[in-house]
Structure 1
Amino acid sequence: MNSAHELLKLFTATRLHTHKLCEPLEKEDYVVQPIVDVSPPKWHLGHTTWFFEEFLLDKNLPGYQRYHEQYAYVFNSYYESIGARVVRTDRGNLSRPSVDEVYKYRAHVTYHMEQLLKNHWKEELLPILEIGIHHEKQHQELLLTDIKYILGNNPLLPIYGDVKDEVFINSDAQKWQEIPAQIYEIGHSNSEFCYDNEQPKHRVFLESYRISSNLVSCGEWIEFISAGGYKNVMLWHTEGWDWVQKNNITAPMYWYQEGNDWKQYTLNGIQKVDKNSAVTHISYYEAFAFAQWKGMRLPTEFEWEAAQKQFNWGKRWEWTESAYLPYPNYKKPDGALGEYNGKFMVNQKVLRGCSIATPPQHARPTYRNFFHPNLRWQFTSLRLVQSL
């Protein structure tokens, strides 16, 4: 996808999809920040707009005037080399700019991006534009999960709308795929877009193992709860056990018990937990403990990638046993965009796959997501592995 026309179509479709995700919201929903990990929808709208203004328009569109000089301060996320910014915990305190003003900002930047692509396009800008588009796609995923947290922690438990496949049923029979011991190639290699943390392609040797074709089900998770899984210290890392005790964790996020039934909040409203559906909204700590309880383990990210053609993935982010680290011979990009991935390669776990919140044209088998082990507001799940 190198032509300016194709890029313009993808850019326009991406911008419109962000707006579509926000259509069910009330004005008041746009400004809420319940916890540090959840950003207000208004901030997502502004930040993804600032990215194009900062990295493309300001330097490459002749005569371009920034919409507002202070927006770089308001909507910068973590780019230290760009300049000062609003502290992440304070994003929910920004009553101004208003929601209407942020949409005007988006329209301003979108219009001028169209002018850049139509009248002043340079091929050397392609890598930055691609990152900008996929950066907004990443925020679309975060936006939907943040909206779910905002609404799901409101006492009224409001319905967002009809989200297809949020409750994902494992429709195929469970199979265990055996993967032979050998050397495998890992990482992205074709000409399509990828992030720098998916490269360079390299080889790893894997011992033989077998991997589940299905994600762990809610029925299995209920068995884990009933067996005292959240009370058995022997199943947990010390750090995970401290987290369970401190936060009184007794079930996946959004679950609660009503009589003998387990129910959960979904974007479609309260629903009874379907035992055949894939479990979701669990932390790495919980995934590890469950695997211990089953006498199994989580796959490494390399085992996951080597086996991914053998199972149906794409409805849940899947925890792996791998720490988020650079690949051999990884080189961080120059300039501010070098802050995109490289500086986060510490104290986090890799997730593979994608989820129902992942927008079109964004997922691929080599994509590496990463979060701290305690986080579970994303659509996270697990599949199990046994060594042979």
Structure 2
Amino acid sequence: MNTRKKTEDLCRPLEIEDFTPQSAVFASPPKWHIAHTTWFFEEMILKKYVSNYKPFDDSFGYLFNSYYNSLGDRIERGHRGLITRPNIETVFEYRAYVDKAMTALLNMSESEAIKKLTILGVHHEQQHQELLLTDLKYTFSKNPINPKYVETNLVEDTYIHSGWVDVNEGIYEIGHATDNFAFDNELGRHRVFSEPFQISKSLVTNGDYIDFINDGGYENSKYWLDDGWHWLLENKIKHPLYWKQKNDQWHHYTLSGIASIKEEAILAHISFYEATAFANWSKCRLPTEFEWEIASSQLDWGRRWEWTNSAYLPYPNFKIAEGAVGEYNGKFMINQMVLRGASVATAKQHSRNTYRNFFTPNTQWQFSGIRLAK
């Protein structure tokens, strides 16, 4: 219940009008996140394991399904902001209704299957807590008065590290290996051979990236992947998301409003395309996800999701689970790049060095950053 309460705590600074708008196809409204994380428990557990269970509202299975084709039809992703009804009060009643039913079920059941699905649902909700913040930030950034969500700027953190970690060539084991929870895409522990490499102890800072901009980084195609260069030109990208220049000074939108950019703070909201271009400009490269995991015990990580140069693909022996749970990761293993670590917006107890996050290479709205390798 702590995780369920945390989601509601994240909503306390919001006004009623904040719960519904959808500013982009990829950014879901807070109301939808609140309902979808509840839908998971009702759809995946209660409907299956509670005899004569009466759903809170028969239409919610359609409204708040995300991408589970095996569970029926759903509204288009870009239409989630059109769900003005049910209102937010009804959605919170839905949460309370499902929480009560889940508590009763867990108190009377010793089923291992129910326990595993409940744990999966908790981790699923933690994912959506971070998405709630990143989506809300994107929506607020489109508001001309630059509203504040909280008073504390989440991205003013700085590093005290410098230098490089040297890693010898060798055969290393990759993937989750304990009995603790992990998503299925982390399983299939296997060996990889690595050539010797170096990986930076620090993440790229705003000041580092400003040097790239000032040196014409966004005007010189030689630093960019061809796909990234077309993305840059088509979308007229000239700087990281949320950045704007005023009177020759860089500012950015934060969850605490507009702020001047601190050059010593860690860079955030960067796409894979931009990360690769910066690495090329720096005469370095991005680490692979395997290099990142090999070196992770020697790194201070967890402030930004760190882009790797690895495509999101299944590990050896990966098997798609039966039923709707199998859709959770398996069908997305194409056209995505892997990010490792965690961010300042990641829920506590939701990070581990085997965690494989993944997004399309043009993604900027997550709290993503750059760590170099060579």
TM-score of Structure 1 vs Structure 2, range by shorter chain: over 0.9
Q: Tell me what 1:6 maps to.
A: none
Q: Tell me what 1:222 maps to.
A: 210
- Where do 5+ consecutive residues of structure 1 fail to align? 1-11
Which letter maps to 2:363? Answer: L
* 1:64 Cα deviation after fit: 2.0
Instruction: Give the alignment partner of residue 87 of structure 2, picking from 98, 101, 115.
Output: 98
CA RMSD of aligned residues (A): 0.9
* 1:175 Cα deviation after fit: 1.6
Instruction: Give the alignment partner of residue 283 of structure 1, picking from 246, 271, 291.
Output: 271
* 1:258 Cα deviation after fit: 1.1
Query: d(CA) in 2 for partners of 1:22 and 1:151?
Result: 14
Measured against aligned partners, the alpha-carbon deviations of 1:108-155 in whole angstroms (never above 9, x if no partner) come to: 001111111112342232221111110000100100101111111111
Instruction: Give the alignment partner of residue 145 of structure 1, picking from 125, 129, 134.
Output: 134
Query: d(CA) in 1 for partners of 2:264 and 2:254?
Result: 16
Instruction: Give the alignment partner of residue 262 of structure 1, picking from 245, 250, 256.
Output: 250
Q: Tell me what 1:19 maps to.
A: 8
Q: Tell me what 2:158 maps to.
A: 169
1:159 paired to 2:148: yes
Q: Tell me what 1:231 maps to.
A: 219
Query: d(CA) in 1 for partners of 2:281 and 2:155?
Result: 26
Q: Do the aligned residues in 1 keep the contact of 2:154 with 2:255 (CA within 8 Å)? A: no
Measured against aligned partners, the alpha-carbon deviations of 1:197-223 in whole angstroms (never above 9, x if no partner) come to: 001110000000000000001001000
Q: Tell me what 1:199 maps to.
A: 187
Q: Tell me what 1:317 maps to.
A: 305
Which letter maps to 1:385? Answer: A
- Where do 5+ consecutive residues of structure 2 fail to align? none
Q: Tell me what 1:83 maps to.
A: 72
SS in 2 for 1:230: coil
1:249 paired to 2:237: yes
TM-score by length of 1: 0.95
Which letter maps to 1:192? Answer: N
Q: Tell me what 1:190 maps to.
A: 178
Instruction: Give the alignment partner of residue 97 of structure 2, picking from 87, 98, 108.
Output: 108
Q: Tell me what 1:130 maps to.
A: 119
Which letter maps to 1:27? Answer: I
SS in 1 for 2:173: strand
Q: Tell me what 1:8 maps to.
A: none
Instruction: Give the alignment partner of residue 333 of structure 2, picking from 342, 345, 360.
Output: 345
1:119 paired to 2:108: yes
Which is further off, 59-68 or 143-152? 59-68
Measured against aligned partners, the alpha-carbon deviations of 1:66-92 in whole angstroms (never above 9, x if no partner) come to: 001110000000000010011111111
Q: Tell me what 2:201 maps to.
A: 213
Query: Quick one: structure 1 residues 187 and 334, their matched pair in 2 at CA, closer, same or farther if it must change by over 3 Å?
Result: same
Measured against aligned partners, the alpha-carbon deviations of 1:193-248 in whole angstroms (never above 9, x if no partner) come to: 00000011100000000000000010010000000000001111111011111111
Matched ranges for 1:60-75 at <5 A: 60-75=49-64
* 1:164 Cα deviation after fit: 6.2
TM-score by length of 2: 0.98
Which letter maps to 1:274? Answer: K
Measured against aligned partners, the alpha-carbon deviations of 1:137-178 in whole angstroms (never above 9, x if no partner) come to: 0100100101111111111100000346432211x2312010
Which is further off, 111-120 or 199-208? 111-120
Query: d(CA) in 2 for partners of 1:116 and 1:162?
Result: 40
Measured against aligned partners, the alpha-carbon deviations of 1:338-358 in whole angstroms (never above 9, x if no partner) come to: 000000000000000010111
SS in 1 for 2:191: strand
Q: Do the aligned residues in 2 keep the contact of 1:61 with 1:120 (CA within 8 Å)? A: no
Q: Tell me what 1:5 maps to.
A: none
Instruction: Give the alignment partner of residue 368 of structure 1, picking from 356, 362, 365.
Output: 356
SS in 2 for 1:183: strand
Query: d(CA) in 2 for partners of 1:177 and 1:192?
Result: 28
Matched ranges for 1:324-335 at <5 A: 324-335=312-323
1:50 paired to 2:55: no
Query: d(CA) in 1 for partners of 2:155 and 2:54?
Result: 42
Which is further off, 54-63 or 108-117? 54-63
Instruction: Give the alignment partner of residue 383 of structure 1, picking from 351, 358, 371.
Output: 371
